[in-house]
Structure 1
């Protein structure tokens, strides 16, 4: 039985690449993980892992054992999911990854409402603008924009992400209002550094595509920080409406070139394909789709995009 109990610990060490990250995922101490792996190797009479101060790798025997251990872990997870489907009320720990600004502005208000409805579920929300790996991060659900790069993931569409070009009235008074796209070359254009096209802004009008290579003196990896710079009159920026919507409605930001559309993306709740969908995952997906409307989102009410 001790060998069986050690299997998920061994799998976590391999998948997370070390004792410390595995311990964080499992919610136990690093020493407890190390002890469990040592006991497993002693019981099996083989060395499963090569350990150095900088690197951890599988031995040849460890690779073979991991193949079977992973199947056993997946079978146990499927068994848990199957049982959870028969439970009357969703329960258990739900680990969610979300981009920082979307998480703070929209996931953070939603989650307390979700937990009021499902008090037996506990949530661990990790907000990060970098795309974290679903499996290695131990996430049940991730909020992602754009197309999926991993074919093993399933997406439920929550809505669409619109971006608009914005500037503060004060900036436009001081520097003039750009009338043509090429006028942006003469303006201080601020950028979101995690964008796939930091310096190229793309537009569509009457099915015709237009691009402008822009430059500016500020680049930042957070949309709210970028918004703050625009509000303070530093320059022009491309902002998602889920960040800029309230300031556009209040007149603190002006939308430039409203007759041009910037690229639109779906935003999805993404999860790993499993034989049985856990009740806690299904409950969250259904709640999120209902909360965000899967249509015109609440943050775009009263603005034209």
Structure 2
């Protein structure tokens, strides 16, 4: 019989005061109980219980062993309960890395309701466009636009696909001319986003034709919000995810050009270390992300 069961049998015998009562409590026969106690005594090399035909009592060694055993079993039961409760109820600190612009557009307004649903959960959102090392830096999850995962320890859950749009202010194009082909972008002021898939080369496609434009920017900034502000100010032209400027395009603050050319899309993923034994706090947050991105994409 396994050691844990032997411990439970001895505890029940000691607390119930009889082999038969312990057997009824554990659903085991009296001979099985007696054999289990004997097996434990043989393992320890001491007698734990004095037995007669009428009564039983603990030896001095049995009393000492029971005292320590009860503390150990109770601690183990408490630990198991904590794990089971954690599986059923998300709690603790959830550390998440996410792009600032994506968070503000897709998530910020909904996060308070998410936290209200899980009062035992604390959320630390680190808004940064850089690609963090989840394992090394202790993040539970990151939201990122990845082409492919370089780390086999990581799992990716697709959240949304954001097409890039080439745009600037109408006034910028009035002054500098509206480009009709990608090559005409070479003479315009570029705004560079260094963490994007096309940080240094913008690639455009139309039918079988592919044109690449080397990005030559006086202004390089690690925030998509800052790129959007520079566009609004009429400083230059840039590729930026459409959801970030959709309202500006609709109101005419910004103007899209080269619509007949396609370019790269940005796929946003929830990145986390492993599917195995996924903590409830991570699981519920991933579910929240999937639903929230779906809701915002359908607006």
Q: TM-score range by the shorter chain?
A: 0.5 to 0.7
> How many residues align structurally?
220
Partner of 2:41 in structure 1? none
Q: CA-atom RMSD, angstroms?
A: 2.3
Contact 2:106 2:293 in 1 (8 A): no
2-side partners of 1:228 and 1:246: how far apart? Answer: 13
Name the TM-score, length of structure 1 as normaliser: 0.66
Worse overlay, 224-233 or 274-283 = 274-283
How has the CA–CA distance of structure 1 residues 216 and 271 changed in structure 2, closer, same or farther, with 3 Å as cutoff? closer
**C-alpha displacement at 1:83, in angstroms?**
2.4
Q: Tell me what 1:110 maps to.
A: 110
In structure 2, distance between residues paired with 1:279 and 1:179: 52
**Could you give the per-residue CA deviations for residues 230-284 of structure 1, whole angstroms, max 9, x where no partner exists?**
1111111111123212211221111111121211132111111153111111111
Query: 1:85 Cα deviation (Å)?
Result: 5.7
Structure 2: unaligned runs, 5 residues or longer: 1-78
- For residues 82 and 135 of structure 2, the distance between their equivalents in structure 1, rounded to whole angstroms, comes to 17
SS across alignment from 1:277: coil
Give me the whole-angstrom Cα distance separating, in 1, the residues matched to 2:166 and 2:81: 48
**1:97 deviation in Å?**
0.5
Q: Is the CA contact (8 Å cut-off) linking 2:203 and 2:264 kept in structure 1?
A: yes
Runs (4 or more) in structure 1 with deviation over 3 Å come to 78-82
Aligned to 2:125: 125
Partner of residue 267, structure 1: 268
- Aligned residue in 2 for 1:11: none
Which residue does 1:138 correspond to in 2? 138
Query: 1:116 deviation in Å?
Result: 2.1
Distance in 2, matches of 1:246 and 1:79, equals 51
> Please, what TM-score do these two structures have when normalized by structure 2?
0.67
Partner Cα distance (1:288, 1:279) in 2: 14
Conservation of the 8 A alpha-carbon contact between 2:164 and 2:266: no
Please report how far the alpha carbon of residue 103 of structure 1 lies from its aligned counterpart in structure 2 after TM superposition.
2.5
> What is the CA-CA distance between 1:185 and the residue it aligns to?
1.5
2:275 and 2:80 map into 1 onto residues whose CA distance is 11
Tell me the secondary structure at the aligned position of residue 122 of structure 1.
Answer: strand
Shift of 1:216: 3.4
Distance in 2 between the 1:274 and 1:287 partners?
17
Structure 2 CA distance for aligned equivalents of residues 209 and 260 of structure 1: 9
Residue 175 of structure 2 aligns to a residue whose secondary structure is helix
For residues 103-133 of structure 1, what are the alpha-carbon distances to aligned partners after superposition, in whole Å with 9 as ceiling and x for unaligned? 3333322311211222221101111111111
Indicate the residue corresponding to 1:185 in structure 2. Answer: 186
Question: Matched residues in 2 for 1:119 and 1:200: separation?
Answer: 46
Partners of 2:81 and 2:189 lie apart in 1 by 55
